[in-house]
Structure 1
């Protein structure tokens, strides 16, 4: 294990030693990174435009929240926001009411 550690350490020292030559420093100072495109003036967005966009997004989000709250309220008032268990309970109650009325109707006919 220590032998592998020493080999790795020696290699790192060797590599770093080669990279710190005066030729390397000269090359590094002249190097231009072509991989990163410089922004053109057309694609640069001003701070005001960024803020306008953010404000618009915030307004849209607030509008969506308001619409969602209105929808939830209308669902509650229309009794649509129930769980399946609540719907089953209501169906059961309505069936028993229907059965009672049918019995009363049959009694009235006889």
Structure 2
């Protein structure tokens, strides 16, 4: 009998993974998915629409500013070319000469 204790016994062991109930499996899947940020199509669409509207508003504002600037340049004469300035200076010199002759 003493030799029987010294013998190595081999047994076939069936390894079975942890058994999960359907409730636990569903809870686990939901828990894992709760940690993953998913894009919401409605949120993405509304954000895209918001950005589109903002871009259109900014473009309209820029157009208005451009029109105001062009109008201001015309009224102050800043939009003239150098040739137009030369012509205006020449006209003013002619007017000055005419006034000097009168007086």
TM-score by length of 2: 0.54
Paired residues, what number? 66
Q: Secondary structure at the match of 2:85?
A: helix
Q: Secondary structure at the match of 2:37?
A: coil
Distance 1:77 1:86 in 2: 14
TM superposition shift of 1:42: 8.1
Runs of at least 5 residues in structure 2 that lack an aligned partner in the other structure: 1-35
Runs of at least 5 residues in structure 1 that lack an aligned partner in the other structure: 1-39, 106-110
TM-score by length of 1: 0.51
Q: Which residue of 2 aligns with 1:68?
A: 66
**What is the 5 A alignment of 1:1-110?**
41=37, 46-105=44-103
Q: Deviations over 1:39-84 (max 9, x none)?
A: x738887221121012101110111011101211222223332111
Q: Secondary structure at the match of 2:98?
A: helix
Distance 1:80 1:56 in 2: 32
**Whose radius of gyration is greater, 1 or 2?**
2
What is the Cα-based RMSD across aligned positions, in Å? 2.4
